[in-house]
């Protein structure tokens, strides 16, 4: 188990993109609890843990290990901890006030979309061909086309989004 002390020097934004796996928080008292990254907002990183700790321990939450694997998870017994820039423990009151920020975060969310193509690729190339080759767009005026698509997106984190497209195009 490797404790990454140097993490406190890494900007929170960079860290927030790295801590996507379950891990372990090491306290000053020596106690180690397993945790799960709950989310991040602004300069605060949030963890969910199944074990409660006291305030004096929480002052040294900056010692974080990323190598933990098994997460003890229980819906009925969970506690939220936050790290402001990985140095200061936020009060319970602040945690409550920022839970809404977590919910607004784009991580791990789903999105459904519907769209219309204003210009299909086939028509676009027909127009280009008409302009370049025959110096007139008369050829392309014979064509009518439209394109539409349905999409689903899964927000893996703040930047990378995965999805499925279903597209229909009619041309001619």
Q: CA-CA distance, 14 to 3, in Å (whole number)? A: 18
Q: Can you tell me whether residue 16 is helix, strand or coil?
A: helix
- Residue 92 CB, nearest distance to other proteins (Å)? 28
- Burial letters 154-170, b for 16+ CB under 10 A, else e: ebeeeeeeeeeeeeeee
Q: Assess contact for 19 and 45: CB atoms under 8 A.
A: yes
- Residue 166 CB, nearest distance to other proteins (Å)? 6
Nearer to other proteins by Cβ, of 6 and 132: the residue is: 132
Nearer to other proteins by Cβ, of 67 and 134: the residue is: 134
- Residue 55 CB, nearest distance to other proteins (Å)? 34
Nearer to other proteins by Cβ, of 93 and 110: the residue is: 110
Q: CA-CA distance, 32 to 44, in Å (whole number)? A: 21
- Residue 104 CB, nearest distance to other proteins (Å)? 10
Return left, alpha or beta for 145; rule: phi > 0 is left, psi -120 to 50 is alpha, else beta. Answer: beta
Nearer to other proteins by Cβ, of 44 and 147: the residue is: 147
Query: What is the contact surface with other proteins in residues (CB under 8 A)?
Result: 106, 109-122, 124, 142, 147, 149, 151, 153, 158-172
Q: Assess contact for 70 and 34: CB atoms under 8 A.
A: yes
């Amino acid at each position: 188990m490797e404790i990454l002390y140097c993490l406190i020097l890494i900007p929170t934004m960079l860290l927030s993109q790295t801590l996507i796996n379950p891990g372990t928080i090491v306290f000053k008292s020596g106690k180690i609890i397993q945790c799960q990254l709950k989310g991040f907002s602004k300069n605060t990183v949030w963890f969910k843990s199944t074990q409660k700790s006291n305030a004096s321990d929480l002052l040294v939450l900056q010692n974080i290990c990323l190598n933990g694997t098994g997460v003890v998870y229980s819906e009925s017994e969970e506690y939220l901890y936050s790290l402001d820039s990985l140095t200061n423990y936020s009060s319970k009151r602040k945690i409550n006030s920022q839970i809404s920020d977590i919910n607004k975060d784009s991580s791990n969310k789903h999105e459904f979309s519907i769209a219309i193509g204003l210009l299909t690729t086939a028509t676009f190339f027909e127009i280009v061909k008409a302009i370049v080759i025959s110096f007139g767009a008369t050829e392309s005026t014979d064509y009518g086309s439209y394109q539409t698509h349905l999409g689903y997106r899964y927000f893996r984190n703040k930047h990378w989004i995965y999805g499925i497209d279903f597209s229909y195009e009619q041309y001619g």
